[in-house]
Chains A and B, each alone.
Chain A
Amino acid sequence: DTAVSQTPKYLVTQMGNDKSIKCEQNLGHDTMYWYKQDSKKFLKIMFSYNNKELIINETVPNRFSPKSPDKAHLNLHINSLELGDSAVYFCASSPPSLHEQYFGPGTRLTVT
């Protein structure tokens, strides 16, 4: 019954590797988002997709590439991982008629 799910929950990898984080929502929402939460708990939007189309791209390095195969999924692929990419990444979704967003449990990425 999980509304917004993310896999994996934890991801530890070395610098230079490529990794993906998956997100799925079963709420029927049209819009999905990726956020990054840094070590000081600050949350910042990275991307948003509406019906598989990119809507918001907040000056994220092009090593980060979101992919939306359908409106229920928004995956995040990261190339050439750097130490500064270590953070918790949250996926979220929202319906068109409401303003609030529903968040996944987060993926803690650690780059060594």
Chain B
Amino acid sequence: AQSVTQLDSHVSVSEGTPVLLRCNYSSSYSPSLFWYVQHPNKGLQLLLKYTSAATLVKGINGFEAEFKKSETSFHLTKPSAHMSDAAEYFCVVSDRANFGNEKLTFGTGTRLTIIP
């Protein structure tokens, strides 16, 4: 069984300061991990993914995440927040045992608010 826990339901940061959104996962297999972003009233967009290559993954819009197996974590970071980063962020784990028919399990989401 797989699961993902997003440790903060809401994070507020000032514009220009670093962003840290925390995620811990549980998986019986070697996991694939993703971060998706959902802007208000929009669909989900893939920010970045980890699929057993480099543990530090770079995504779009300056975001990156580091896979730490020993800590079962996949935290999302950005050095400097921008107003356009305000959105809901989802950490997602994929069951790679069903390769080709991946079942994604979503975290409960973290709402990121940017303070001007």
Contacts and interface: CB of A to CB of B under 8 A. Distances in A.
Given A99-B96, A103-B44, A45 B103 contact: yes
Given A43-B90, A90-B43, A90-B44, A101 B102 contact: yes
Contacts of B106: 42-44
A48 B108 contact: no
B115 interface: no
Q: Classify chain A's interface size.
A: 20 to 34
A71 to B, nearest CB: 13
Interface residues of B, number: 23
Interface string B80-112: 000000001010001010001111101011000
Contact of B108 (A4, A40, A96, A99): A40
Interface of A: 4, 30-31, 40-45, 48, 50, 55-56, 90, 92, 94, 96, 99-106
Interface of B: 32, 34, 36, 38, 42-46, 49, 51, 88, 90, 94, 96, 100-104, 106, 108-109
